[in-house]
A and B are shown apart, each in its own frame.
Chain A
Amino acid sequence: MQKILILGATSAIAQATARLFAAQGAAFCLVGRSRERLEIVAQDLIARGAAEAFCLTADLGDCDGHQALIQKADDQLGGLDLALIAHGTLGDQAAGQADFAIALKELQTNFISAASLLTHLANLLEPRGKGALAAISSVAGDRGRQSNYIYGAAKGGLSIFMQGLRNRLAPAGVRVLTIKPGFVDTPMTAAFDKGLLWVGPEVIAACIHRGVVKGREVVYAPWFWRYVMLIIRAVPERFFKRLKL
C-alpha cells in the first residue's frame, strides 16, 4: 500500500491524480484550506478504493506551520512513499505589476511555500533513503513572458529548486519529479477561452502517475509541451522581447 501526502489536495489536477492511486488501494493524507472540500475528496477516494484518507486543514502560504504539518502527516500515514505538491494560484499579472504586495503573495504561494515544504520533506526522507517528492510547476516557468512573468518566475524558481534538490537527494535514493503542465481546463483557468491545446486534468493525472511509477525526473504534460517549450526557449532574447506573448 502506497502512502501518499497531497498538499493542495482539492486542486483538480491533484484529485484526478489521487484517483489513479486510489484505484490501486493507496492511503492518503490530504491537505487543503477547506475542511468541507477535503471531506468530499476523501470520501471520493475511499469510494474508489483508497485504503484510508486523512484530512488536515492548513493555509499552505503560512510556512511557519509547515514542519509540524509534515510531521503530523507522516505520523498519521506511518511513513511516506510520495508527497505531491499541487497548490497554486494563477494571480492577476496586471495587479501584481501595479502593486508588489500582490506579486509577493503570488511568489509566496507558488514558490516560497513549495520550497519550504520541499525542504522539510527532503530532510525527512533523506535519512530514510527512500520515497519520492513531486511538485506541479508549469511550462510558464520555462521562459518569462510579459503576460505572466510573476507566476512564471515563481514556477521557474520552483523548477530550479527541484533540480537542485534532485541533485542533492540522488545519492540518498529519494526521487524528485517536476511536473510541467501546459494548458489545463480546471477552476484555475475557468475564465479562459479553451482552444485545441487544452486538456482535462485527467490527462495531466495520467502523466503524473506514469512519471511516478517510472521514476522520471521532469515530465511535460502532455508530452508535446517539451518540444513546444524547446522552440520557445530557443528564440533569441533580441526577438523575443518584441513579441506580444
Chain B
Amino acid sequence: MNAYQSWGRYPRVEQDARPLNWRHQPLPLAGLEGAVLAYGQGRSYGDACLNAGGALLPTRRLDHFLAFDPQTGLLRAEAGVSLAEVLAFCQPRGFFLPVTPGTRYVTLGGAVANDVHGKNHHRQGTFGRHVTRLELLRSDGSRTLCSPEENPGLFAATIGGLGLTGLITWLELRLLPVVNPGLAVENLRFGGLDEFFALSADSDAGYDYTVAWVDCLAKGEDRGRGVFMRGNHLETPPQKQPKPPRRGLMIPCQLPGWLLNPFSLKAFNALYYHWPRREAVSQVLDPLGFFYPLDAVDNWNLIYGPGGLVQFQCVLPLDDAATVLAEMLTLTARSGMASFLAVLKVFGELPSPGLLSFPRAGATLALDFPIRGRKTWDLMAELTRLVRQAGGSMYPAKDACMSPEDFAAFYPNHHELETWRDPRFSSSFWRRVTGQEGQ
C-alpha cells in the first residue's frame, strides 16, 4: 500500500518518501536523483501533492510551535502543524482561524501552498492574506525569510505556489480574535440560481460566512435549487469551554463503487434539500459542525469505490455566472454522474496575495465525481470547456485532468512561477500542466 496518496486516490503513482523531522536540518537530498516535493496531509484531490518518479518530503513531524502572542494573536508555527491543532490551541484562548477550508486536516504549509479559501472569502480573502511571514528552505541550502516587505517576489510566488518554490519550514499567521467560536447560523432554501445570487448579494454584507449547497440532480423546474447557509460567530462569551473533538467515524475499508448510484444520491440530495424548513431557521452551531461536516467521517473518500474520485472546482466571472452554472448543472444532471454535494459560493473582491492563487471575484462551484472511466473524463472535459469559454479558472488543489492549454488559459502568468521554482522541486501536477510529463 502506498501510504502517500492524494485525497481523490487518483492518480496512483510510484514515489519515494523522506519524512522530515526537524526544521533546522538540511533537506534530505543526498542520494536522490529526481525532484522532491513537500507533502502535508494529502488533502489535495488530484496530483498537486504527488511526485511520480521523485520523492515526497512528508512534513507532519514539523509540528512545533515557535511563539504565540495572546495580545496580537500572532502564531508562529512549523509548516506541518495542522489546522486542527491550531484550532485546538487557539479556540480556548479566544481566537479562531482567519480562513479555513472545508476540512481541518490540512497543514499550514498546504494551506499556504494552495492559498486556500473558506466560507468567509468575501470578508477575509484567502489564507495567504493572513500570513505575515515565512521561512523558505531551498535546495541550495539557503533559508530565506519572506513577507510582504522582505523578498516580496518570493513571498508572492510561495503563496499559492503549489510547493514549487521550496520547503516552507515555519510561518507566522495572524489569528482572528473571537468572543465565541460558536456560530449563529441560518439555513435558507432557494428554488433556483437567481434566487441564490440574490440571497448571496443580500447576505454578504451582514454575514461573515456564506455558502450554498446545490442539488445537482434536480432537473427542469427544480434545477439550481439548494440550501443557503449564512452565519456569524456568536457575540456572547461561551458558557463552557468547547469539548475537545471526538475522533471521527472511520470507514474501515474500501467500499464498492455501486454504493454511490443515482438512486442513493438522489435520495441524499432530496433529503438535504428538504431538511431546512421554508422560512429561515436560526440555530447555534458548534464551529466543527459548521465548518467541517465532512470531517465527521475520517476517510470518507473511500466510499467512492476503487477508482477514486475527481473534483471539479471553477470560478466564473459574475456577469454571466448564472447562465454558465445552469449549463454546468444541466450537464451534470444529464450525465447521471451525480455529485454528492455541489458547493456554490460567491468570492469577494479582496485580491489574493499569491502569484498563482486561484480565488478571484466571481462565483465558485465545486463538484465531485466517482471515477468511472470515459464517462467521467468526458464530463470533466465538457465542464472545463465551459469554464474556458466563460473566462473563468480552475483550482489546482482539486484538479487531476486539466490540459497544458487549459492551464495556460487559466494561469497566463505561470511562466513567472517557473522562474521562482526551486530547480529540485516539482510535482506530478506541475509536469502535467506545463507539458513536461515524462520528464
Contact = CB atoms under 8 A, between A and B. Distances in A.
B68 A47 contact: yes
Interface string B2-20: 0100000000000000010
A36 B3 CA distance: 30
B21 A43 contact: no
Nearest to A200: B60
A18 to B, nearest CB: 11
Nearest to A48: B65
Contacts of B3: 193-194
Nearest to A203: B247
Contacts of A171: none
A12 B19 CA distance: 13
A41 B64 contact: yes
B24 interface: yes
A40 interface: yes
Nearest to A23: B89
Given A36-B22, A40-B22, A40-B24, A193 B1 contact: yes
Nearest to A193: B1
B21 A40 contact: no
A47 B19 CA distance: 24
B66 A47 contact: yes
A23 to B, nearest CB: 8
A106 to B, nearest CB: 22
Given A36-B22, A37-B22, A44 B1 contact: no
B104 interface: no
Interface in B65-95: 65-68, 76-77, 89
A78 interface: no
Interface string A37-57: 100110110011000000000
Interface residues of B, number: 16
A40 B23 contact: yes
Contact of B67 (A36, A41, A43): A43
A201 to B, nearest CB: 9
A37 B78 CA distance: 14
A43 to B, nearest CB: 6
Contacts of A12: 61
A231 interface: no
How many residues of A sit at the interface, in one of the four size bands?
Answer: 10 to 19
A193 B24 CA distance: 27
A191 to B, nearest CB: 10
Interface string A1-13: 0000000000010
Contact of B64 (A44, A187, A190, A194): A44
A157 to B, nearest CB: 28
Interface string B40-71: 00000000000000000000010011111000
Q: Which of B61, B64, B77 has the most CB of A within 10 A?
A: B64
B61 A187 contact: yes
A47 B67 contact: yes
A41 B22 CA distance: 10
A187 B60 CA distance: 11
A40 B64 contact: yes
Contact of B19 (A43, A44, A190): A190
Nearest to B67: A47
A190 B28 CA distance: 14
A239 to B, nearest CB: 30
Given A193-B1, A194-B3, A44 B65 contact: yes
A41 B66 CA distance: 9
A194 B19 CA distance: 14
B61 A43 contact: no
| Highest count of chain B CB atoms <10 Å: which of A36, A37, A47, A194 | A47
Given A12-B61, A190-B19, A193-B1, A48 B24 contact: no
Contacts of A48: 65, 68, 89
Nearest to B18: A190
A225 B385 CA distance: 55
Interface in B82-129: 89
A47 B1 contact: no
B65 to A, nearest CB: 4
Contacts of B66: 43-44, 47
Given A12-B61, A193-B1, A187 B67 contact: no
Contacts of B77: 47
A28 to B, nearest CB: 14
A40 B77 CA distance: 11
Interface in B119-162: none
Nearest to B92: A23
Contacts of B61: 12, 187
Nearest to A16: B63
A23 B67 CA distance: 14
Contacts of B64: 40-41, 43-44
A142 B89 CA distance: 37
A203 to B, nearest CB: 9
Interface in B384-437: none
B62 to A, nearest CB: 10
Nearest to A194: B3
A231 to B, nearest CB: 22
Contacts of A36: 22, 24
10 contacts: A37-B24, A43-B64, A44-B65, A44-B66, A47-B66, A47-B68, A48-B68, A187-B19, A187-B21, A193-B1
- Which 3 pairs from chain A and chain B are nearest by CB? A47-B65, A44-B64, A47-B68
Given A44-B64, A44-B65, 5 more contacts: A36-B24, A37-B24, A43-B67, A193-B1, A194-B3
